[in-house]
Structure 1
Amino acid sequence: MFERLKSLWVIGTTVGALAFLVPSLAIAQSDPLPSWNDTAPKAAIVEFVDKVSKEGSPDFVPEPERIAVFDNDGTLWIEQPMYVQLAFALDRVKAEAPSHPEWATTQPFQAVLEGDMKALTAAGEKGLLELIMATHAGMTTAQFEKIASEWIATARDPRFKKPYTELVYQPMLELLAYLRANGFKTFIVSGGGIEFMRPWTEKVYGVPPEQVVGSSIKTKFAMKDGAPTLFRLPEVNFIDDKAGKPVGIQEHIGRRPIAAFGNSDGDLEMLQWTTLAEGPRFGLIVHHTDAEREYAYDRKSEFGHLDLALDAAAINKWTVVDMKADWKQIFPGN
């Protein structure tokens, strides 16, 4: 159920310095992907990039058409034990609870305050949508950006005890830099909230806010005390997940990507839209197989559910990354 609701969470630094250093480091080294083992996925990436970026190659793709799209949760950073933006929503309920004494006896807020995940799950989509609207709407875009930015700077992952922005995947940071060094434009296309991601993606991934595609709630322009403002309304605007991802790509980017990177069934349609067309195409799935360094999960996981897309990878000849076997390291600095 949680996989279906991934996009609802969105409705609504050390790592930064490292991310900006990655491009120059990658170019300076003979190996542009040093955190990748010399296995088939790395070879497939290098082969694809070489053939589409080398002038004179029969598969050469002009630079403006070299578009690569990346899912975020589980593809660029951690998504267990729950999506990061869901953790943000739950923390916001706890922070706002003193102003809402009625939440102590009202579901699904009571479940959040009591840490009752069973009751929270039982609340279903309707209940979780209530949480999202209570924590992501009813404020200006500037207010929401401030709240989200402060949270992402201070929140810590429960297992690794680190900021979430330090739990990004070093091999994927290198891949982003490698693609950009070879004329690609890199976009994030996530079920996560577009306004939740935009304040920090440039610092962490080198992806500016205008190259972030995500889910959104409706926003209204208004003059307030003589100043122009954008106000976040408690209404769904767009869900950028599953079949919504190709739509979001078309509406925000306007070009069909030639490379797509994901990790779950929520990315299936994006991979299909990118790869099932003429010309050189590349699709990659990050398969979480390393329980010791990160997590191992796929077909039975509520978060990052990977089932249909894993089967489709074999049929469509997408590259599947086995994190345990194909990555020398998972996070920066470890």
Structure 2
Amino acid sequence: MSLATEEQELELLVKQMTLEADGVLSLRLVHPGGDPLPEWSPGAHVDLTLKGSLVRQYSLCGDPADRGSYRVAVLREQAALGGSEYVHEGLRPGHRLRVVGPRNNFDFLPAKRYVFVAGGIGITPLLAMLTEAERQGTDWELWYGGRREDSMAFLDELAAYGDRVKVIPEETHGRLDLATALPTPEPGTLVYCCGPEGLLAVVEEHAASWPEGTLQVERFKAKQIEVDPDGEQPISVDCRRSGRVVQVPADVPVIDALEAAGITVSSSCRDGICGTCETKVLAGTPDHRDSLLSDTEQASGTTMMICVSRARTPELALDI
């Protein structure tokens, strides 16, 4: 049971593929019959099944007002596990893809002013936010860093916004100057950041003294969380709606134990970053190991990502 709502499973047609920068390819997906696609909001992503059972999550980076198509962008990664290589080498217009979603774990919240910080392909979830902020007439600025200018996607689109967009290629301008980009925010300002883990870690450190909730981040890869395997303990999971109690060995993820017991669980990334397996906690204390929930959300203990998280108590009761 996932907490994700209003998700749909669709078979969409790859209508168009566009090289947006060196190593970045965008896909425009449409319904084969021309039907309108499910609504989505800035920050949302979808799951794409690329070949066989290979599933990857990609941010929607088009206009939320466009119900006729979805746009995603895929960075070709040399060390990836086949997803980006398949998109760049094997996928072509006319192919069909299984798409699940949209799902939003990076909500675009109301604010008087926005500061956006993107690193590389991290520009993708922010594009729709710029569109929406512009539509609302809200003040904003974007700081966009990348290794080289020719590797930074969507620069032509961003140029239309003028000097509110600061493009900082590292090879010619050095790294983003966070002291300039992110001074202490004034009340009513929200900061949205997406990019590689190195950038996010520095931004989070920079923002440590800010009021809670000022900084909103999205990760494409899970945070490195140190876990002592010798300290792991077996736990008992009471699946209330299923009427089953499942024993989870110390070396087995909760989601694997539930599936082995025949309890169907929605999942996708298995890394604690996509939110598909988020599950309500009815009793017990989770040991959170995800890269998605905020500190406040983790402290509340009301939900957990059962693909990576375990328990600090011998027993958990889940709404599943």
Same fold (TM over 0.5): no
**Larger proportion of strand:** 2
**Normalized against structure 2, the TM-score is what?**
0.31
**Larger proportion of helix:** 1
